[in-house]
Amino acid sequence: MKNRAKDTGGDARTGRGTPFDLAHTAALPAKPGVYLFRDARGETLYVGKAKALRHRVRSYLARGKGATIRTRELARLTETVETLVVGSEAEALILEANLIKEHQPRFNIQLRDDKKYPYVKVTVSEPFPRVYVTRRVRKDGSRYFGPFVSVGRVRRALEVVKRLHGIRSCRYDLPREAPVRPCLDHHIGRCAAPCVGLQSEQSYREMVEVVMRVLSGDVASLQVEVEEDMRKASSAMDFERAAHLRDIVAGLDAIAREQRVQAVGGGDLDVVGVARDGPLAVALKLRIRGGLLLGREVHTMTGVEEASEADLLSRSVAHAYLSSGTGLLEELPPEVLLPAAFPDLDLLAGVLDARAPRRTRLHVPKRGAKVRLVELARLNARHALDDQLRKGESPRTRTDDVLYELQERLGLKVVPRSITCFDVSHTQGAETVAGVVAFMNGEPRRAGYRHMRIRGDWGNDDYRSMAEAVTRYFRRESEGEGPLPDLVVIDGGKGQLSAVRSALEGLGLDDIALAALAKKEEEVFLPGRKEGVRIPRSARSLHLLQRVRDEAHRVAVRYNRKLRSRRTVRSALRDIPGLGPRREQALLSRFGSLRGIREASAAEIGRIPGFSEAMGVKILTWLRSSPGNIPRL
């Protein structure tokens, strides 16, 4: 037996291959702390807390025949017990929650966050705050709202406010860094462009306050203001603005209907509900502020076959409020409603009192409206569990979600609503061409498709060919009045990316976001980064990049084949005695292809200006007598 540390932690170990037993517990401290059961490979099997570590661990081994199958199996597999001594039972409770989250031991109740319910982050500490969806909650001075029921609901709320004022979706650290020109969002009316000074900081702050009112549930008063503006616009015969405000009112009303729930004295509450079915359980927390249901947070628990209702409730509440990165103690309400009491209830209440900025009461209601709210949480937990059992898959992700995901994964300053992609194709250095495709909001925009012949004699040098294509394209585009793309994608790797970056810098367009997608490993390379970005193969953001890249490749290859076919046809016609370039062009213009010429009659050829029927006979005789030298086109 070997102790690792004194008072701060320790380890009781058996010999190799010998299971841990009662004799080894004598070395464990009789102090509060956390214990970790590990197997012969060092894998953590179970994490628990105890007021007295020695007695608690001994109890697992002294239950004998009365122990459950799960407990007997745990005792059989355990070879090492590691202990962490802390100052109090409250500290042990916090440490246990964090260690379970970190190690996910298979004998503990496994609790997994449901990623369908995100937060909205408002970076209020910035001069021009950003508002965006996130699933990471940090203590960074920002305000977080949520968790919300679905990403779609969050998007709808933000879209309504955007129609009213406009909110930036870019990631620029304004005013320290800013683009040279406004992005596409400004041109389509989604943003007032504070990045280039077209909106003042005060005006932008007022808009952000409106956003936070909507996210906080204060929709009714905002509806009254918008309706009054709508009436004024109608009286002033400004029917276009009145119709615009009418749509906003309808959107706000939809948000209010989704948020409405029974008010309980106008207070702020969290309500917890739990449902189970065999080895699976769901813990759900309703977040009610000012009598409005602003969101729900769902956690799935596995390995609960032998767990009691009290164990499930204790684990879910500790996870919600104590685990690192979950729960917002700053947003903790004055009261949390629970369906039942559990052994660690008073201990958890004491920990929250010590850590949260305000006093919070953990309460099991006995009568009245609060009992009905607990029942509502239980029913919602039951429905969430049924959904998991029935389908297990979330609804299809919207295009906007894919674009936001792509922005997040590539660290882009602007949501890539418009994407332009380049690819180069050639035949052993000949007929070198470039294909250009444009995507808008994740869908092809055919009007933006282009193809071009590469003028430089670069041979197999894809880097120079790509640089020429990008230079010619953007030299023409920058002279127009339309917005430039939010993201340029290059089919290739680091070499192509470097060449294109130099080309854009030469045009003064170095603020355009660039990315290169390499075919072999589907790795994304970004300017200024040595290592590529590996997006999971199942991610929709990668699927979008692949789709854009493949479409550019298709356009380039198609144009290359067209030029190659034209060269082959001209080569065959030039072998005919007496047929010069003008007559070649006339034949191709009339019949379209070599096959069309061969299938024509001598009389049809003779009707072409500059030709005679005798010339037609000569041409057809030559072509039909040498089929082996003529490719089938």
Report the candidate in 342, 353, 357, 344 with the shortest Cα–Cα distance to residue 89: 344
Residue 164: pLDDT band by 50, 70, 90 thresholds?
low
Asked if 633 and 568 count as a contact pair (C-beta separation under 8 A), the reply is yes
Higher pLDDT, 380 or 615: 615
* Pairwise CA distance, residues 180 & 196, whole Å: 7
Asked if 184 and 419 count as a contact pair (C-beta separation under 8 A), the reply is no
Q: Considering only 257-261, 297-301, 370-374, 509-513, which range has the smallest mean pLDDT?
A: 257-261
Residue 481: pLDDT band by 50, 70, 90 thresholds?
low
* Pairwise CA distance, residues 121 & 103, whole Å: 28
At residue 20, the pLDDT reads: 57
Q: How many beta carbons lie within 10 A of that of residue 411, not counting itself? A: 11
- Beta strands at 80-85 and 33-38: parallel, antiparallel or unpaired: antiparallel
* Pairwise CA distance, residues 515 & 491, whole Å: 9
Is domain 575-629 annotated with CATH 1.10.150.20?
A: yes
Question: Would you say residue 548 has pLDDT above 70?
Answer: yes
User: How many residues appear in the chain?
Assistant: 633
Give the H/E segment covering residue 419: strand 418-427
Asked if domains 269-321+331-390 and 411-418+436-558 share a fold, the reply is yes
* Pairwise CA distance, residues 451 & 453, whole Å: 7
At residue 456, the pLDDT reads: 82
Using one digit for the tens of pLDDT, what is the confidence trace for 4-42?
A: 333 444 554 433 334 556 666 776 778 888 888 888 888
Write down the CATH superfamily of domain 411-418+436-558. UvrC, RNAse H endonuclease domain (3.30.420.340)
Residue 415: pLDDT band by 50, 70, 90 thresholds?
confident
Using one digit for the tens of pLDDT, what is the confidence trace for 580-596?
A: 778 877 887 788 777 78
The predicted model gives 142-169 an average pLDDT of 67
Residue 2: pLDDT band by 50, 70, 90 thresholds?
very low
At residue 209, the pLDDT reads: 84
The DSSP secondary-structure symbol of 478 reads: H
* Pairwise CA distance, residues 533 & 410, whole Å: 8
For the chain, the structural domain boundaries read 10-107, 119-259, 269-321+331-390, 411-418+436-558, 575-629
* Pairwise CA distance, residues 80 & 44, whole Å: 9
Using one digit for the tens of pLDDT, what is the confidence trace for 446-463?
A: 988 999 999 888 877 889
* Pairwise CA distance, residues 244 & 557, whole Å: 46
At residue 633, the pLDDT reads: 33
- Sorted by sequence, the CB contacts under 8 Å of residue 135 that are 6+ apart come out as 115, 118, 119
What burial letters (b/e) apply to 175-191, b meaning 16+ CB within 10 Å?
eeebbeebbbbbeeebb
pTM, entire model: 0.45
**Hey, which CATH number is domain 10-107, 3.40.1440.10, 1.10.4030.10, 3.30.460.10, 3.40.630.30?**
3.40.1440.10
Architecture of domain 269-321+331-390: 2-Layer Sandwich (3.30)
Using one digit for the tens of pLDDT, what is the confidence trace for 282-307?
A: 888 887 776 666 666 778 887 777 77
Three-state secondary structure string covering 513-573? EEEEEECCCCEEECCCCCCCECCCCCCHHHHHHHHHHHHHHHHHHHHHHHHHHHHHHHHHH
Share of the chain above pLDDT 70, in %: 78
Report the candidate in 113, 190, 118 with the shortest Cα–Cα distance to residue 153: 118
Identify the top-confidence range among 105-114, 332-341, 546-555. Answer: 546-555
